Amino acid sequence: MKNALPVTRAENFADWYQAVVGEADLAEESGVRGCMIIRPWGYGIWQRMQELLDRRFRETGHENCYFPLFIPLSFIAKEAEHVEGFAKEMAVVTHHRLKMIDGVLQPDPDAKLEEPLIVRPTSETVIGAAFQRWIRSHRDLPLLLNQWANVVRWEMRPRLFLRTAEFLWQEGHTAHATAEEAREETLRMLEIYRSFAEDALAMPVVAGEKPPHERFPGAESTYSIEAMMQDGKALQAGTAHYLGTNFARAQSIRYQTEQGDLAYAQTTSWGVSTRLVGGVVMTHGDDDGLRLPPIIAPRQIILVPILRDRPEDSSVLEYCDSLAAELGASSALGEPIRVLADRKPGRSVEKRWGWIKRGVPIICEIGARDVAAGSVTLIRRDRARQGEKIDFTSLARGEFVQRAPALLAEVQSALQAEARERLRAGIRSDLTTLAAVEAYFNESDDSESFRGWAQVPWARPEGAALDSVERQLKALKLTVRVAPLEQAPLPGERCLFTGAPAREWILIGRAY
Amino acid sequence: MKNALPVTRAENFADWYQAVVGEADLAEESGVRGCMIIRPWGYGIWQRMQELLDRRFRETGHENCYFPLFIPLSFIAKEAEHVEGFAKEMAVVTHHRLKMIDGVLQPDPDAKLEEPLIVRPTSETVIGAAFQRWIRSHRDLPLLLNQWANVVRWEMRPRLFLRTAEFLWQEGHTAHATAEEAREETLRMLEIYRSFAEDALAMPVVAGEKPPHERFPGAESTYSIEAMMQDGKALQAGTAHYLGTNFARAQSIRYQTEQGDLAYAQTTSWGVSTRLVGGVVMTHGDDDGLRLPPIIAPRQIILVPILRDRPEDSSVLEYCDSLAAELGASSALGEPIRVLADRKPGRSVEKRWGWIKRGVPIICEIGARDVAAGSVTLIRRDRARQGEKIDFTSLARGEFVQRAPALLAEVQSALQAEARERLRAGIRSDLTTLAAVEAYFNESDDSESFRGWAQVPWARPEGAALDSVERQLKALKLTVRVAPLEQAPLPGERCLFTGAPAREWILIGRAY
């Protein structure tokens, strides 16, 4: 069987990923180390994600704002004092002018900054400084902010969307009067991420808490949603941190309580990034390219006219245009249908494969015969292939228009069901000894023998015991993903690592 | 008469501007030189602008994408070779890691970049390099891209929104097969800016072409929209450039024509920025703060409950909530009404003034008496004051709900009409000699004696003649704004500067 991509998932998952990202016009290398160009189709997916998340953030009372790209070194230095294991791979701005010296354009030595500026890797420090100015009284709380921004973290081994030096994200930052409210906020945003991933991206995830050694530096608790990619690896797809008063103490974020005392605010932060686009690729892609859940597809239906350089071409184009107008006037999944009649020059068979690779949920081909018969020939991208052949369906035009919303909803559900089943089947909970875990993950040295995750009992070891667990896992290239919020019963289990009575189940696996 | 702001427009326009930006919660200094924090209300206005412009860009076939924040020095150096008068005030990244050395966090000498990176001041170079890869055939044209991004240009005298080191903008970049198409595109985008400014921002502008010495470096023609601020100064509010094949030649952007030849693409670029927020402030603000055109107001109607810590408070809150729900379900100016019941703690009179300063088009105060009478007491922000007093109107609730869309449309029109009249009255076309121009603009040394623009005949001088005109204007702190696209008749006029037969009218004035 020949596929639209030069490499299959089974042959080499990493190369396959790269091929989908390229062939679906999602993104490409820019020539600037670690920085990608997000192409219109990839950006369209990200913009859909933004729209849907932004609506949820607003509905829960958050307001958008914008903080500076640059952070003074002194802000970062202050944080470094407080945070052990503070990451230092950042882009540093040291000059503010270029100058032609001896015919070579270079940083002007006379324009060296007194204090270097850091390109924000995240904005806790600069937003904390504003919180300190803005928060005076309990009446100023809760303060619920979000920002859509680009951030930079130097990466030695960049991969498009998954790990890039510059990426796009949203970062929520909130301040509250009580620990209870701040914890509620953290879990509320985690739940927004979970339901967004599951409903909009059709990417089921496990929401849970990270063990202490995987926490965001300075956080009291770190939660994440973890998605299982088709190679069985985990993708951390969103995080939410309850920061307690740790950041408030470091930055003097205090407020006057109703009783007139001064108290430290309780803060949270949470974010998702363009990494989600990579998650969608590795969740739904097949060997012909991307498959997009209709809710986030920039275009849900494409109409490809089959033109023959003959007089009937104009009636084919008219038919496409009027069909597009009719579809665009109706709604699917709660929004107007996003449809495009692809009138660009080019052969229709090439266009068909282009849209298959881009993952458009429904691709229609309209020829003179369809016009004569008043019909529509369509491909459902989620089940485009029956072996070698494309699976075409023909419907009367009126029936297609009427059924289009249901068809799109079916594609959304089908992709979700498939991914759900993969997640369910990919979690082993019968590995009761470390030896069994080791045997399972090392069964084959072939990195393409996909392994999912193991759910194992855990006693929440701390200190030296935790360090030892970390070492054991590292040797197997495994990490603790999360302790799921939804816990299975745990009758009398013992911790897989320490033998102490277990306190919860955790998921371990390989990860991106 | 006492105003809500500590300073009036007449007293000191610059201080007044600063006061509005601060008191309306639009933006503030961040502590990072030249970089601002855009607060939620200011960001909300920008987000409305984005939504409306983005829709217009898409409707005209443009697609959004995202290019890297960093540009290699070599790209910039290449441009510098081609472009005379190339600006060099840019943020330069030279290191990619921080290191603690002798207890001081600093750029790690071992992590110096081989090639410095420039934080993008605009993206022509990096987008041109992509165009060079993407464009092969006439079938790839036109290529119509846009990006929403932050850019950085070092500024020695920053002013919030008007001139900041970092600002947010959109930059459109397109490539076409013919000069005619590229010129059409340039004027199409200029017209989108013009109508957007006039219709959405209620900020009438003059659209026209810049003289040669005011062109974007490397452009064949530069067009802009110019708005008149309340102090008579011009604000360049958007630009569109026809670049001919100048950038295509420098970057080898070539395509195969239908005939099989290789030809250079014709390119354009165009942009507007967060500067528009400053333009809205200086167009519509009054001595009580901002006045927002309803189309771009993040909230169009605010309901302020008047609470007295009495049992009837709950019925006041219920009344506000149900009124908000009712209003939110109806539409004004083509979109659902954006309404908020302001339930935050605080005194209602303080809230009223807060929303007046923020410029909300309609502010309602709801007390127990309104609940009992089934009425709504409202302030129309565009005419909030009658001398010392607030101008309240009372309407039956049902009538208010029914009339709200018309009221919002009236506010939009009223602000637009006021600004239109100011622009009309602010252009003198009776200054027929340079001496008259000089006398007019220098009549008083008082910078607050507001002067508008002069429309004068112009022979399109070039070379040394143009240099001389530039010097004359500079001495008067004047610049040529544009030659308006819509030209008045020009029967036998002579150029104000050279005495040669005039070819068109131009506008001259002071500018931001």
Contacts of B96 in chain A (CB under 8 A): 89-92, 154
Q: How far is CA B67 from CA A10, A86, A250, A481, in A?
A: 32, 29, 36, 32
| Listed residues A232, A259, A284: the one ending a domain | A284
* pLDDT tens readout for residues B9-20: 999 999 999 999
Domain housing B221? 13-69+123-284
Query: What local confidence, expressed as pLDDT, does residue B83 receive?
Result: 66
- Residue B496: helix, strand or coil by DSSP? coil
In this structure, is residue B261 part of a structural domain?
Answer: yes
Radius of gyration, alpha carbons of chain B? 26
Does residue B76 sit at the A interface (CB-CB below 8 Å)?
Answer: yes
pLDDT of residue B445: 55
Task: Note whether B30 and B143 are same-domain residues.
Answer: yes
The candidate with the shortest Cα–Cα distance to A185, out of A256, A267, A271, is: A267
Task: Note the pLDDT tens digit of each residue in B437-453.
Answer: 999 998 765 555 688 99
- Beta-strand ranges (E) seen in B24-91 are 27-29, 36-38, 63-64, 70-72
Residue A93 and residue B90: Cβ atoms within 8 Å?
no
Read off the amino acid at residue A118: I
End-to-end CA, chain B: 30
* Residue B7 maps to a domain: no
Which residues lie closer than 8 Å to B241 by C-beta, 6 or more apart?
B186, B215, B216, B219, B221, B222, B223, B268, B269, B270
The Cα B271–Cα B273 span in angstroms is 7
Q: Which positions of chain A have pLDDT values less than 50?
A: none
Does residue B65 belong to the interface with chain A, where contact is any CB pair within 8 Å? yes
On average, the pLDDT of chain B sits at 94
Bridge partners, A482 (sequence order):
A507
Mean pLDDT over B355-384 rounds to 97
Are B416 and B440 found together in one domain? no
Neighbours of B382 (CB within 10 A): 22
pLDDT band at B491 (very low <50, low <70, confident <90, very high): confident
Contact B93/A91 with Cβ under 8 angstroms? yes
Closest by Cβ to A96, choosing from B68, B154, B166: B154
CB of B256 within 8 Å of a chain A CB? The answer is: no
Contact yes or no for B196/B186 (Cβ under 8 A): no
**Among residues 88-107 of chain A, which lie with CB inside 8 Å of chain B?**
88-100, 104-107
CATH number at residue A401: 3.40.50.800
Tell me what pLDDT residue B156 has: 81
d(CA B190, CA B193): 5
> Residue holding tokens 């991004």?
B149
CA–CA dist A256, A469 (Å, integer)? 44
The ipTM (two decimal places) reads 0.95
Q: Where are the alpha helices (DSSP H) in B60-123?
A: 73-82
For residues B278 and B300, state if they share a domain. Answer: no
The amino acid present at B112, given as its one-letter code, is K
Interface test with A, best of B33, B35, B71, B92 (most A CBs within 10 A): B92
DSSP state of A489: P
Orientation angle between helical segments A179-195 and A40-59, nearest 10 degrees: 140
Residue B84: the pLDDT is 65
In a domain, residue A486? The reply is: yes
Based on the domain organization, do A273 and A136 belong to the same domain?
yes
Q: Which of B264, B284, B304 lies at the terminal end of a domain, its last residue?
A: B284
Residues of A in contact with B40 (CB under 8 A): 63-65, 145
Shortest distance, CA B441 to any CA of chain A (angstroms): 35
The pLDDT of residue B82 is 67
Nearest to A68 among B76, B106, B166 (CB): B166
Instruction: For B114-155, write each residue's pLDDT tens digit.
Output: 999 999 999 999 999 999 999 999 999 999 999 999 999 988
Residue B341 burial (C-beta neighbours within 10 Å; 0-12, 13-18, 19+): buried
Residues A401 and A299 in one domain: yes
**Residues B24, B137 share a domain:** yes
Q: In whole angstroms, give the CA distance from residue B24 to residue B3.
A: 14
**Rounded CA Rg of chain A:** 26
- Helix-strand-coil percent breakdown of chain B, rounded to 5? 35, 30, 35
* Angle of the A73-82 helix axis to the A124-134 helix axis, nearest 10: 90
Read off the CATH number of the domain in which B34 is found: 3.30.930.10
Residue A236 in domain: yes
Q: Are residues A190 and A230 in the same domain?
A: yes
Question: Pick from A71, A80, A139: which is nearest to B345 by CB?
Answer: A139
Q: Does B345 touch chain A (CB under 8 A)?
A: yes
Quote the pLDDT of residue A80.
Answer: 76
pLDDT digits (tens, 9 = 90+) for A88-114: 899 999 999 999 899 899 999 999 999
pTM above 0.90, yes or no: yes
Q: Is residue A86 part of a domain?
A: no
Give phi and psi for B418, each to the nearest 5.
Answer: -60, -45
Q: Is the Cβ of A43 closer than 8 Å to some Cβ of chain B?
A: yes
Share of chain B above pLDDT 90, in %: 88
Question: Do both B369 and B439 map to the same domain?
Answer: no
Q: Closest approach of chain B CAs to the CA of A89, in angstroms?
A: 4
pLDDT in tens, B229-251: 999 999 999 999 999 999 999 99
Give dist(CA B75, CA B118) in Å, integer: 9
CB < 8 Å from A in window 440-459 of B: none
CA angle A8, B140, A313 (to 5 degrees): 95
Q: B139 φ, ψ to 5°?
A: -70, -20
Q: How far apart are CA B496 and CA B474, in angstroms?
A: 15
Please give the pLDDT value at position A84: 65
Q: Which amino acid is at A489?
A: P
Give the model's pLDDT for residue A82: 67
The backbone torsions φ and ψ at residue B354, rounded to the nearest 5 degrees and listed phi first, read -60, -45
Domain match, B280 and B301 both = no
Choice among B32-36, B269-273, B324-328, B362-366 with the minimum mean pLDDT = B32-36
Q: Tell me if B95 is assigned to some domain.
A: no
- A403: in domain: yes
Task: Give the domain-ending residue among B284, B317, B335.
Answer: B284
- Residue A11's contacts (CB-CB under 8 Å, 6 or more residues apart) are A448
Say whether both A249 and A301 belong to one domain.
Answer: no
**Domain count for chain A:** 3
Residues A130 and A232 in one domain: yes
Residue with tokens 């006398």, as numbered in its chain:
B439
